[in-house]
Chain A
Amino acid sequence: MQIDWFTLFAQIVNFLIVVVLLRRFLYKPILQAMAEREAKIAAQFEEAEAKTREAEEEAERYRAQRAELDEEIDALMAEATAKAAERRKAMVAEAREEVESMQDRWYAAIEHEKQLFLHRIRQRLGQQVFHIAKSALKDLADAELEGEIVDVFIQQLDAQEIEASTAPAHSSEPDETPIIVRSAFELDAPTRQRIKQAIQSRVMHDRSDGNAPNTVEVAFEQTPDLICGIETQFENRRIAWNLNDYLTRFEEELSTALTTELHVEERAHLYEQEAAANGILPG
């Protein structure tokens, strides 16, 4: 158990060689490789983190954009709804107005037709009544209707006497204008004379206070409007006989009947209109 000095020295040298060579071939490259790999891994982690951050930012941006778009869509929808409602209201109002104007026109037309119809009825009826009466009188009593009418008219002129005594004299001034007698038919000369005399006696009688004229001017006019009648006006009095009064009454009754009928029709029409409006425009 001795120490061999040469061996000891050689082993020291050997160990130093081992230290130097291991340092060169083992520790240095291994540590370097490890450091490099660590750096690489760190870089990769960093890169991954950066990418994650980027992706998150991108996602956030997309979310914001989508929210913005949603808001825009909502706004557009609201605007469109409001516009549609407004437009609907306007269209409904327009339609109502149109319907009302159509209704007015229709009513006006109906009224016009009614008036026209009544007028024609009146004319035709008067003529017919006149002809019937004329024929009937001729056949039954061999009398002229015109003559009978004139007779009734003269009688009325005489009958006014009683009324005149009670009626106030509206005008005391003598009237120089001729008294006009209107008739629906042509009056022959003898008839005219009779009427003239009757009027004159009438006037003379009325002006018995002394300022009565000696002669009365009488003018004759023919107007088909009177419908089978005759009339005159003087001293604020109107003396007449014609079918007008009868026809007026008849017309009134007919008009009432027509109006009632129209009201029924109108109600039915309104009901239909309302139903149509409810069907097309609910609520």
Chain B
Amino acid sequence: MQISPDETIYWQSGFIVINATLVFTWVAMILLIGGSWLITRNLSTGRSITVRQSMLESIVSMIQRQIEEVMLSNARPFLAFIGSLFLFIATLNLLSIFPGYRSPTGSLSTTSALAVCVFVVVPIYGIRAQGVGQYLRQYLQPTFFMLPFNIFGELSRTLAMAVRLFGNIMSGEMIIAILLTLVPLFFPVVMQLFGLLIGMIQAYIFAVLAAVYIASAMSDAQLSNED
């Protein structure tokens, strides 16, 4: 039994491996970006707007509102990164409703990649907000001796993010696979619905945690200046 979609390899040449994770990710990317492009191609600013535009506007403004609630600042500079995190993970997870599809978030490679992105972006925002010195000084707070703990905390929370998402999705898929062998009818459908819910929740948690980390990396003063 394959635990990760990484193990389904379609094409391999040297160290380049085209596995199910990458293929399904590309499918999701095409759907996400292609859909956005199709809808935003001709946006209306008039009195009447299409249902699709209205839906996209609702999603974007909802994400914006959530970021503002978490970060207590203007969401605009973080919208692209945090919003993309949420939409990307949510799309990857929601597509599992189609049979034969295996969510790429069930692969530790994918979740680690996303966690690494957060790990890199957090100090970028932090340094941009308060400068290198001030940002690095945060690791010495409250005392110099806290430096190793702070560094370790940084690493461990990145690892936790990756493992949390991977664990939840992978376990959901595993349960469904096991249940299919035991109770083939009805019950796996309910579990599949649970899986969709969990997928959405995990996407939300991942995005919100990223927002929290970025917010903590920026000083309070800087955050309030963003307003």
Alpha-carbon separation in the docked complex, A1 to B108 (Å): 7
**Does A80 reach chain B (CB closer than 8 Å)?**
no
CB pair A12 B116 closer than 8 Å: yes
CB pair A22 B109 closer than 8 Å: no
**Does A223 reach chain B (CB closer than 8 Å)?**
no
Q: Which residue of A lies closest to B25 (CB)?
A: A14
CB pair A15 B114 closer than 8 Å: yes
**Does B113 reach chain A (CB closer than 8 Å)?**
yes
CB pair A14 B29 closer than 8 Å: yes
List chain A residues, Cβ under 8 A from B60. 26-27, 30-31, 34
**Does B81 reach chain A (CB closer than 8 Å)?**
yes
Alpha-carbon separation in the docked complex, A170 to B55 (Å): 152
CB pair B108 A3 closer than 8 Å: yes
List chain A residues, Cβ under 8 A from B108. 1-3
Alpha-carbon separation in the docked complex, A23 to B81 (Å): 9
CB pair A30 B43 closer than 8 Å: yes
Known contacts A1-B3, A22-B36; is A36 also within 8 Å of B113 by CB?
A: no
Task: Encode contact with B along A1-20: 1 for CB under 8 Å, 0 otherwise.
Answer: 11111111111101111110
**Does A25 reach chain B (CB closer than 8 Å)?**
yes
Across the interface, B33 reaches (CB within 8 A) one of A7, A21, A36, namely: A21
Q: Distance in Å from the Cβ of A11 to the closest Cβ of chain B?
A: 4
List chain B residues, Cβ under 8 A from A4. 6, 17, 19, 21, 107, 109
Size band of the interface chain B makes with A: 35 or more
**Does B88 reach chain A (CB closer than 8 Å)?**
yes
Task: Encode contact with A along B70-89: 1 for CB under 8 Å, 0 otherwise.
Answer: 00000010011101110110
List chain B residues, Cβ under 8 A from A7. 6, 17, 19, 21-22, 107, 109-110, 113
Across the interface, B113 reaches (CB within 8 A) one of A2, A9, A32, A40, namely: A9
**Does A37 reach chain B (CB closer than 8 Å)?**
yes
**Does A147 reach chain B (CB closer than 8 Å)?**
no
**Does A108 reach chain B (CB closer than 8 Å)?**
no
Q: Which residue of B lies closest to A30 (CB)?
A: B60
Known contacts A8-B112, A9-B113, A15-B117; is A25 also within 8 Å of B40 by CB?
A: yes
Q: Distance in Å from the Cβ of A21 to the closest Cβ of chain B?
A: 5
Other A-B pairs, 7, CB within 8 Å; known A14-B25, A18-B33, A33-B45: A7-B6, A10-B22, A11-B22, A15-B85, A22-B80, A34-B60, A37-B46
Q: Taking beta carbons and an 8 Å cutoff, which residues of A are in contact with B?
A: 1-12, 14-19, 21-23, 25-27, 29-34, 36-37, 40
Query: Top 7 A-B pairs ranked by shortest CB distance?
Result: A11-B113, A7-B109, A26-B36, A29-B40, A23-B80, A36-B45, A33-B43
